[in-house]
């Protein structure tokens, strides 16, 4: 009797586990990329990638088409630098100096001494690019904010 009860319990646990896995899989969304990701990297974008990935750029990014698309989407569409005339009216948000550097492949990577929105390299920072929802960071001592769009921002409902 005990053995048959244990078999039934085991079967029920197995069924409920497989059902929960199916639900997670069904909720995955495809990422919709903008059309500007079909062009090659610009020399500026390649320099940004080189400064962060160094000698690993070829194997970690350029030889992986999915990562190439993701990097183009991040650099061209998902990271915005905005200047607000009165930052005191903005919601409090983390400072750029609080975000760690992404120095896995370039251990000598340094923060820029002076922030320049036209040369800002978002890949230098360990932003959570796959986090759902919009993210905003304030550049220390300035009126500049960095806004990161979620990877599914372009999906139509």
105-144 confidence digits (pLDDT tens): 999 999 999 999 999 999 999 999 999 899 999 999 899 9
Q: Which residues contact 150 (CB under 8 A, 6 or more apart)?
A: 78, 131, 132, 133, 134
How far apart (Å, rounded) are the C-alpha atoms in residues 71 and 78?
10
Q: What is the mean pLDDT of the chain?
A: 85
For 20: left if phi > 0, alpha if psi spans -120 to 50, otherwise beta; the answer is: alpha
Separation of first and last alpha carbons in the chain? 52
The pTM assigned to this predicted structure is 0.78
Residue 136 phi, psi (nearest 5)? -140, 140
**5 pLDDT above the threshold of 70:** no
Specify the residue for token string 């492949």: 105
| Tokens representing residue 82 in the block | 């905005």
| Tokens representing residue 76 in the block | 């061209």
Contact 52, 106 (CB under 8 A): yes
80-107 confidence digits (pLDDT tens): 999 998 877 778 899 999 999 999 999 9
User: Which DSSP symbol is given to 59?
Assistant: I
Contact 112, 48 (CB under 8 A): no
Q: What's the confidence (pLDDT) of residue 15?
A: 52
Q: What's the confidence (pLDDT) of residue 22?
A: 46
């Amino acid at each position: 009797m005990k053995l048959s009860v244990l078999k039934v319990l085991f079967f029920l646990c197995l069924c409920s586990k497989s059902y929960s896995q199916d639900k997670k899989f069904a909720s995955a969304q495809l990422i919709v990329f903008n059309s500007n990701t079909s062009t090659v990297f610009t020399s500026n974008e390649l320099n940004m990638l080189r400064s962060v990935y160094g000698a690993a750029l070829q194997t970690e990014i350029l030889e992986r088409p999915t990562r190439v698309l993701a990097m183009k989407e991040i650099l061209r569409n998902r990271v915005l630098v905005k200047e607000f005339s009165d930052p005191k009216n903005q919601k409090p948000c983390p400072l750029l100096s609080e975000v760690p550097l992404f120095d896995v492949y370039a251990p000598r990577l340094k923060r820029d001494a002076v922030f320049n929105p036209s040369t800002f390299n978002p890949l230098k920072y360990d932003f959570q690019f796959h986090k759902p929802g919009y993210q905003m960071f304030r550049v220390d001592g300035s009126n500049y904010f960095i806004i990161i769009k979620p990877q599914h921002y372009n999906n139509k409902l």
